Amino acid sequence: MGTDSALNSTKPTQRPTQEEDSHNSSTALLSFDNDCSDPSNPSQKRTTTIIFISLLLITCIALSAASAFAFLFFSTTSSSSSSWPAPAQTSSPIETTSRALIKFNHPVVILISSDGFRFGYQFKTPTPNIHRLIAKGTEAVTGLIPVFPTLTFPNHYSIVTGLYPAYHGIINNRFVDPITGEVFTTRSHEPKWWLGEPLWETVANHGLRAAAYFWPGSEVHKGSWNCPEGFCMFYNESVPFEERVDKILSYFDLPSAEIPVFMALYFEDPDHQGHQVGPDDPEITEAVSGIDKMIGRLINGLEKRGVFEDVHIIMVGDHGMVGTCDKKLIFLDDLAHWVKIPAEWVQYYTPALSIRPPPGVSPSSVVGKINEGLQSGKVQNGKHLKVYLKEELPSRLHYSASDRIPPIIGLVEEGFKVEEQRSKHQECGGAHGYDNAFFSMRTIFIGHGPQFARGRKVPSFENVQIYNLVTSILNIKGAPNNGSLSFPGFVLLPTPK
């Protein structure tokens, strides 16, 4: 578990260059001198002078026009790029060390998750508060890469443990323990399901205070973390977002020694809307605007308390979203000619098809027959699904080293879904859970605070790196994890010695 993971226009009309203008002017003057060879003629002298001055003026005008055009072109390019990710860079002047704390004598981190915030949503509508964090902080220029499967619970727990799902145990939003037969759901709070060490437990292990508002897994009593009253809330989706933000802000009204050094805050949007209408509906725009207002509410509250510049704000999502519709369906019943797959074999249908045959049925035989049927051309959309024995999945998915993962996993192409059988129910909406190599599954990473360089862009990376990032900011020793211990050095400013 302690291994390092890899870090992961219209062309304008061309104008003559300065050299071309000078060459053209010299050629014209040379030609003129050859034609006008009588220097004793005053009329010719006046004509020569006038033409020379005229050519000089034309040359100056051409050069001025070229300069003006260049200025306008590059100014336009610069201003329009404010709505798109910039190349990897740090704003000038380059910061070489982290900024000193003003009000606190220790770092503080607020980790915010906006569920289903697909990378690019921040450009769908004006998001002045999110872009304030981007402009004055550090951003993953092409988004944050989730772990596979790109589902809510596996990814939220990977973010706070630094572990892939095969190692932290939450391998899906719903799964069955192969030994006990017990079923895990999003309401399962027993510690036996939740492996690894989440950030709130790490913080508590160091005698420091943490707080969590609805982050998946935070309700679980694990080790030194007992979900303390007032600093840990059991999930209730009806609690307004404003109330959640205000609760986080209230911690900054405590005496300095009692302020949690780590706080986790969760919002359901825009995932809720994305499932219903897909990623391109106006409802998504409204939801993103609402999240931006919550970020603004948090920033304003911190500024009123005079601590905004001291606080490290890390804003992430857990996964992206892609549109789905009924014409992109694959039915397991269509495979009956090759192999019958009873519903009780299937633990999860889509997008990460998960099948556990009963004892006595060879998983490899089932995989072979399924793929034969899918490749036959006789199964609707069959070419868009490929089924694997879990140990034969692409290694980049890190999705085999757990008995909880069923022996057969199907990877469906982007936007397609798997169902047991045809029905009259028709719907179009959105989904996630697909291969994390799909760009549509990417989400956001924004870091703002004393240890984040202003205006810096960093390459995309997997969310298992965030655990070490937070422990590095807090200057505490973390638990073994799948992130790289050297990763924080690529993202954070070093602290002055």
How far apart are the C-alpha atoms of 467 and 485, rounded to whole Å?
10
Catalytic residue among 127, 138, 152, 161: 152
Q: How far from the centroid of its chain's Cα atoms is residue 109's Cα?
A: 18
- The answer to whether 77 is a known catalytic residue is no
Catalytic positions: 152
